[in-house]
Amino acid sequence: MLGHQPKRVEKIVCKVCGAETDRPEAFFLVTGFGYVCRTCGLQPVSCDVCGARIRRMTVTVFRGKIHCLACYRSEREKGEKRLTKEYLAESIEEAVRTSLAEAPEGYVLVGLKLKYSSKKTWIAEYEREDIFISRCS
């Protein structure tokens, strides 16, 4: 099928040692990193999250860190784009202070509203920091 043929690459360069080839089957494609040659792909590296020793060809680079498959799955599952939390507060000033102080790590406060049919419950909406920066830059 013509629409499903892979894109032809003229020259592939190893991201680790700089070796060049024009045969894509001689190199591994590391997700989030790029192509690595066979010798560099077989080198052991350690996962930045759990410390497991794995081969470079089986890693995934996610948010600048090297992840093994198990850590990558767990990071993707908990990597929600948006979170909401509820806070009890008498005024909006107190709600803003509380929502900023208790913000989840790696998230930015993007909205605060009064819960429907409530006078003291506020809903804070947080967005992942990397998504917020890329969207607002």
Higher pLDDT, 43 or 134: 43
- pLDDT mean over 6-23: 80
Query: To the nearest whole number, what is the mean pLDDT of the chain?
Result: 84
Are 19 and 37 within 8 A, CB to CB? yes
Measured between alpha carbons, how far is 79 from 128 in angstroms, rounded to an integer?
8
- pLDDT mean over 36-48: 91
Is residue 64 domain-shared with residue 120, that is, in the same domain? no
Q: What is the pLDDT of residue 2?
A: 45
Measured between alpha carbons, how far is 59 from 62 in angstroms, rounded to an integer?
9
Question: Of 77, 101, 123, at which residue does a domain stop?
Answer: 77
Residue 110: its H or E element: strand 107-114
What's the pLDDT band for 92 if we cut at 50, 70, 90? Answer: very high
pLDDT beyond 80 at 5: no
Measured between alpha carbons, how far is 120 from 123 in angstroms, rounded to an integer?
10
Comparing 4-8, 79-83, 111-115, which segment has the lowest mean pLDDT? 4-8
Q: What is the pLDDT of residue 89?
A: 94
Question: Of 77, 92, 118, at which residue does a domain stop?
Answer: 77
Residue-wise pLDDT for 70-81, tens only, equals 888 777 766 667
The answer to whether residue 2 sits within a structural domain is: no
Q: What is the pTM assigned to this prediction?
A: 0.49
Q: What is the pLDDT of residue 121?
A: 94
Is residue 86 domain-shared with residue 72, that is, in the same domain? no
Other C-beta atoms within 10 Å of 16: how many?
A: 18
Question: Of 62, 77, 92, at which residue does a domain stop?
Answer: 77
- pLDDT mean over 117-122: 92
